[in-house]
């Protein structure tokens, strides 16, 4: 069965595979962001509309990758496309301030609780890098606390213990560079802690109380599948940070403008000192933001802490983001109710199928962002729990879904996201495919976490 699918994929993806070979001759690994080719079937997408994408071979899929969460209003939303066209014909860039910068900042401020001040960058990576530098400048301290398994972008400050290659290790997390090339000197500024464990964190933070500038966290850990914070945990994080005069940074690059208009800080009612946004803020264009309390962000300015980038607050990105935010915020945030309703149906449907098929799996997260974990545990609460996941089962599930026109990433760490363009019909179609996929996984793999038939 499995080899039949693999043979079918080779036929179905013939042109994409040829393109990948050609790409690899000039672009190392075949793409300029490695994760794009770190999936079982890297496909070249030629066009897209709403919830659908078409690959270079002409195959159609319902897309749940959505550019890693960016496309909150789906692919090529006509109002966003129109805004991009209009702006491109008016002013592409000037390297000067622009009126749209104020407009979009005000829209963010109107909904994000900690956004007394807003600064724009181009990517989530830059946003977390700038936020950390600001925290260091404001506190006069150097170290940051980062959680094991968390991803905050592609700069050296945070590329530590993103993955731990040592399953079963029972001792406290320790610091491992994600790749070669990341200086140990930078690593000395990073303290790794386990997530969702306020007790251990408090002990670690007290030990380093005079040197910690910031605790950085995703409010929902959404780069190791989707892991929800324990009740009260985020509030405790803020208390722990404030106890040692450190700042709490919420990295809302994935949760922002996805789970609620005001992001996780609104959803969970915890206001961090600084927060970072990207992805769903732009709805498909390169834009990011750092938001924060005015006493902190007003440290930024000429002669104080710098904040910079040629492409920051790019007019075309701002024009698109402005319309993207209008779509999300109109009718009192109806878009978010829809994301939870449609995504919630998908989550509940998957849970019912899992119960019916008696596959050892769980679904975690919220309607707009969630993940299926093939595990015997009742919940994954931190990165180390994820060592229990049957990754082979996930890859097979991916493969079965892919064969049925459902597009997700084959790595379990990459979550499933939906957009406002996803319909209840999409959900129905996906659930039909998912049920067949779960049954096929159960048939094909004889691994310990799945009941044998």
Contact footprint for ligand PLP (CB under 6 A): 68, 123-125, 128, 151-154, 218, 223, 251, 253-254, 278
Q: How far is the CB of 314 from ligand PLP (least distance, A)?
A: 14
Considering the complex, state which of residue 124 and residue 315 has its C-beta at the smaller distance from ligand PLP: 124
Instruction: Confirm if 436 and 401 have CB atoms less than 8 A apart.
Output: no
Question: Distance (Å, rounded) from C-alpha 47 to C-alpha 166?
Answer: 40
Considering the complex, state which of residue 399 and residue 415 has its C-beta at the smaller distance from ligand PLP: 415
| Paired tokens of 393 | 């089962």
Looking up tokens 């609780």, which residue turns up?
113
Catalytic member of 151, 157, 267, 398:
151
Question: Distance (Å, rounded) from C-alpha 24 to C-alpha 248?
Answer: 41
68 is catalytic: no
Distances (CA, A) of 117 to 63, 113, 126, 247, 291: 34, 11, 17, 16, 6
> Which residues does 343 contact at the CB level (< 8 Å), separation at least 6?
366, 367, 368, 369, 370, 418, 422
Question: Distance (Å, rounded) from C-alpha 111 to C-alpha 324?
Answer: 14
Q: How far is the CB of 158 from ligand PLP (least distance, A)?
A: 8
Catalytic member of 55, 251, 385, 426:
251
Tell me the residue nearest to ligand PLP as measured from the CB.
124
Within 10 A of 425 (CB to CB), how many other CB atoms are there? 10
| Paired tokens of 422 | 């996803």
Considering the complex, state which of residue 244 and residue 278 has its C-beta at the smaller distance from ligand PLP: 278
Q: How far is the CB of 14 from ligand PLP (least distance, A)?
A: 30
Q: How far is the CB of 125 from ligand PLP (least distance, A)?
A: 3
Within 10 A of 70 (CB to CB), how many other CB atoms are there? 25
Question: Distance (Å, rounded) from C-alpha 261 to C-alpha 274?
Answer: 17
- H-state helical runs in 147-257: 184-187, 198-207, 233-243
Q: How far is the CB of 196 from ligand PLP (least distance, A)?
A: 16
235 is catalytic: no
Looking up tokens 């890859």, which residue turns up?
395
Instruction: Confirm if 54 and 46 have CB atoms less than 8 A apart.
Output: yes
| Paired tokens of 182 | 């990341």
Distances (CA, A) of 43 to 46, 257, 411: 9, 27, 15
49 is catalytic: no
Considering the complex, state which of residue 309 and residue 405 has its C-beta at the smaller distance from ligand PLP: 309
Considering the complex, state which of residue 125 and residue 390 has its C-beta at the smaller distance from ligand PLP: 125
Considering the complex, state which of residue 13 and residue 108 has its C-beta at the smaller distance from ligand PLP: 108
Q: How far is the CB of 234 from ligand PLP (least distance, A)?
A: 15
Catalytic positions, please?
151, 251, 279
């Amino acid at each position: 069965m499995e080899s039949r699918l693999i043979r079918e994929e080779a036929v179905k993806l013939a042109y994409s595979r040829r393109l990948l070979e050609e790409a690899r001759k000039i672009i190392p690994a075949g793409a300029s962001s490695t994760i794009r080719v770190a999936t079982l079937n890297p496909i070249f997408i030629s066009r897209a509309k709403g919830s659908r994408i078409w690959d270079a071979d002409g195959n159609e899929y319902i897309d749940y990758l959505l550019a890693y969460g960016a496309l909150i209003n789906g692919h090529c939303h006509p109002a966003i496309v129109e805004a991009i066209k209009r702006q491109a014909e008016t002013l592409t860039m000037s390297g000067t301030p622009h009126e749209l910068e104020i407009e979009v900042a005000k829209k963010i401020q109107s909904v994000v609780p900690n956004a007394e001040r807003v600064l724009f960058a181009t990517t989530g990576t830059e946003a977390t890098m700038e936020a950390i530098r600001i925290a260091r400048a404001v506190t006069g301290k150097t170290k940051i606390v980062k959680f094991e398994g968390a991803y905050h972008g592609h700069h050296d400050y945070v590329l530590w213990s993103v993955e731990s290659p040592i399953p079963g290790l029972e001792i406290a997390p320790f610091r491992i560079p994600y790749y070669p090339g990341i200086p140990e000197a930078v690593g000395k500024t990073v303290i790794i802690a386990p997530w969702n464990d306020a007790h251990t964190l408090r002990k670690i933070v007290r030990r380093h109380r005079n040197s910690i500038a910031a605790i950085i966290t995703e409010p929902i850990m959404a780069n190791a599948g989707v892991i929800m914070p324990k009740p009260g945990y985020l509030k405790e994080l803020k208390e722990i940070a404030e106890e040692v005069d450190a700042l709490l940074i919420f990295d809302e690059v994935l949760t922002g403008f996805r789970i609620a208009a005001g992001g996780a800080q609104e959803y969970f009612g915890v206001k961090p000192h600084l927060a970072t946004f990207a992805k769903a803020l732009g709805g498909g264009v390169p834009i990011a933001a750092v938001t924060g309390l005015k006493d902190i962000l007003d440290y930024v300015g000429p002669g104080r802490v710098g904040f910079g980038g040629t492409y920051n607050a790019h007019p075309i990105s701002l024009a698109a983001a402005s319309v993207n935010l209008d779509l999300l915020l109109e009718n009192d945030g109806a878009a978010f109710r829809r994301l939870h309703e449609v995504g919630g149906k998908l989550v509940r449907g998957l849970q019912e199928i899992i119960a019916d098929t008696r596959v050892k799996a769980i679904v975690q997260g919220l309607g707009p962002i969630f993940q299926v974990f093939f595990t015997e545990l009742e919940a994954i609460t931190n990165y180390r729990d994820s060592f229990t996941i049957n990754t082979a089962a996930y890859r097979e599930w991916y493969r079965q879904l892919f064969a049925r026109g459902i597009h997700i990433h084959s790595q379990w760490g990459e979550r499933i996201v939906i957009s406002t363009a996803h319909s209840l019909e999409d959900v129905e179609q996906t659930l039909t495919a998912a049920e067949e996929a779960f049954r096929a996984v159960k048939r094909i793999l004889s691994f310990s976490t799945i009941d044998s038939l």
